Amino acid sequence: MINPLRSEAEAFRFLIASIVYFGAIVIAAVAGGKWWGLGVFVVLSAAAAWWWLRSRREERPRQTAPRPHAEGERRILVIANETVGGHTLRSMVLERSLDVREEVLVVTPALNSPLKHWVSDEDDARAAAQERLAASLEMLAEAGVQARGEVGDGDPLQAIEDALRTFGADEIIISTHPEGRSNWLERGVVEKARERFAVPITHVVVDLEREREEVR
Amino acid sequence: MAAHAEAHHGPPIAHQSSRVNASVLGMLLFIASEIMLFGSFFTAYFFVRVVNGIPWPTPPFELPVFVAGVNTAILVTSSFTMHWSLQSIKRGNRAGLQGGLLLTFLMGLVFLLTQAREYSRVGFAPHDGAFGTIFYCLTGLHGAHVFVGLSLLLFMTIRAFRGHFSPEQHHGVEIAGIYWHFVDVMWIVVYSTVYLI
């Protein structure tokens, strides 16, 4: 989000822009009358709104790097909603943790409706996510994967970022439903994650309904 | 090997998301509160002037546009010296930091003293109708913000002369600078609407 008062330099630029904006309106109002002033106000306000919307679209998120951790350890961050039970995902985690001390963190985003999110009504969403997480960890334990879990932010990208700040992941595995049934794929979560995080990302498609799984 | 979800006893764990950075959130809340504060006074101003159609300034009173214009130039210049002081410390120029902060503080002080002098000579009081009330409320509210900004600048100037701050550590100056520019922006709005238009 563009915040003109995030740093002194940005605030200074905002001041210069304000001087130009109000200066133009005052000059137009004094020289041409109130309707000219109003016209310049409308034009400049529209231009400022257009520039702001355009800048928002072009703003690229800063890449987040994970915290460093001890050597001889492999840390895997698994981000999955309810598809962590797939065999491929489990065998992939096992394969990556061969001959090293592995640490696996499963993060289950507390998916919520936009309205409930904005009114901070997250209790049900977090409770449901906690149940899915417990089931996922149980499945991983049955497969011999030692893992711990956390309920994360409803936005999967934010959940990854939050986890990276405390968990120095060497790799991120994003588990989704197949295309057509995955809201995350529709929103381009995997592509955005690759752009945003300086960590190798593996996308695992898990089709629990057809017991068909594939790795991309 | 046993897997486990995070076990927790006692009060619920605080949900700490970095969706919005804490300092950014603080600044956004601050801006929002300031917009509401100034917005309420500007609403009163526009109501009095546009809806009620009261002449502005109400005869026989006049606003000291020229003196306020000079004062505006002083305040805007102080933002440039503020910016210069921060840029100086980022480059390791301590004299630039000290000089910039001192000049900014002095110009802010001159602005506030000129404002006080204007009040004593302007010829009307807050109780002289809606015009007087709105004028003193808007300029007075801004003056209060300048006073807060001057207090911040004073502390930063003293710290700069005591050897604080470095090219890596200058967060205090940065925060004071952001506040000072915000105060300047608000004055541009007040001066344009109250004195010029």
pLDDT band at B69 (very low <50, low <70, confident <90, very high): very high
Q: Provide the CB-side half-sphere exposure for B60 (13 A, CA).
A: 1
**B6, pLDDT greater than 50:** no
Cross-chain residue pair A15–B31, CB shorter than 8 Å: no
Predicted pLDDT of residue B2: 42
Residues A89 and A184 in one domain: yes
A25 touches chain B (CB under 8 A): yes
Is pLDDT at B100 greater than 70 in this prediction? yes
Instruction: Give the mean model confidence (pLDDT) for residues A44-69.
Output: 74
Please tell me which residue, A135 or A211, carries the higher pLDDT value: A135
Residues pairing with B90 in the sheet:
none
Mean pLDDT on A145-174: 87
For residues A135-162, average pLDDT: 86
Task: Of A129-133, A202-206, B112-116, give the lowest mean pLDDT range.
Answer: A202-206
Q: Which residue has the higher pLDDT, B13 or A133?
A: A133
Answer whether residue B28 shows pLDDT above 80: no
Can you give the residue ranges of every domain in chain B? 33-196
Provide the number of structural domains found in chain A: 2
pLDDT digits (tens, 9 = 90+) for B46-58: 888 888 888 888 8
Identify whether residues A182 and A97 lie together within a single domain: yes
**Domain check: are A36 and A82 in the same one?**
no
Contacts of B4 in chain A (CB under 8 A): 137, 148-149
Phi, psi of B95 (to 5 degrees): -60, -40
Do A167 and A66 meet the contact criterion of CB atoms below 8 Å apart? yes
Burial group, residue A194, by CB count within 10 angstroms (0-12, 13-18, 19+):
middle
Q: State which residues form the domain around A124.
A: 73-215
Nearest to A29 among B86, B182, B197 (CB): B197
List CB contacts (< 8 A) between A6 and chain B. 24, 27
Say if CB A76 and CB A96 are below 8 A apart. Answer: yes
Q: Are residues A24 and A124 in the same domain?
A: no
CATH number at residue A167: 3.40.50.620
A140 with A38, same domain: the answer is no
A119 and A17 in a common domain: no
Tell me chain A's radius of gyration from C-alpha atoms.
24
Does residue A81 carry a pLDDT above 70?
A: yes
- Whether the per-residue pLDDT at A64 is higher than 90: the answer is no
Average pLDDT of chain A is 82
Closest residue to A148, CB basis, from B4, B27, B82? B4
Residues A26 and A121 in one domain: no
Contact of B73 with chain A, judged by CB distance below 8 Å, is answered with: no
Name the nearest CA neighbour of A3 among B24, B182, B37: B24
A134 contacts in chain B (CB < 8 Å): 5
Among B6, B19, B192, the residue with its CB nearest the CB of A150 is: B6
Q: What is the pLDDT of residue A123?
A: 87
Range of weakest confidence among A87-91, B31-35, B147-151, B165-169: A87-91
CA dihedral B89, A1, A190, A139 (to 10 degrees): 90
CA distance A105 to A148: 5
Based on the domain organization, do A37 and A91 belong to the same domain?
no
Q: Do residues A64 and A201 make contact, with C-beta atoms less than 8 angstroms apart?
A: no
> Mean pLDDT over residues B102-129, rounded?
93
Contacts A122 to B, Cβ<8 Å: 15
Instruction: Tell me, yes or no, whether A152 lies in a domain.
Output: yes
Whether A44 and A81 share a structural domain: no
**A74 has a pLDDT exceeding 90:** no
Pair A51, A111 in one domain:
no
Mean pLDDT of chain B: 87
Second CATH level (architecture) for the domain B33-196: Up-down Bundle (1.20)
Residue A64 counted as domain residue: no
Instruction: Please indicate, yes or no, whether residues A90 and A147 belong to a single structural domain of this protein.
Output: yes
Domain co-membership, A105 together with A183 = yes
**Residue A14 belongs to some domain of the structure:** yes
Q: A67-91 b/e with 16+ CB inside 10 Å = b?
A: eeeeeeebbbbbbbbbbbbbeebbe
Residue of chain B whose alpha carbon sits nearest to that of A155: B19
Q: DSSP letters of B131-190?
A: HHHHHHHHHHHHHHHHHHHHHHHHHHHHHHHTT---SS--HHHHHHHHHHHHHHHHHHHH
Q: Is residue A2 part of a domain?
A: no
- The reported pLDDT for the residue numbered A198 is 83
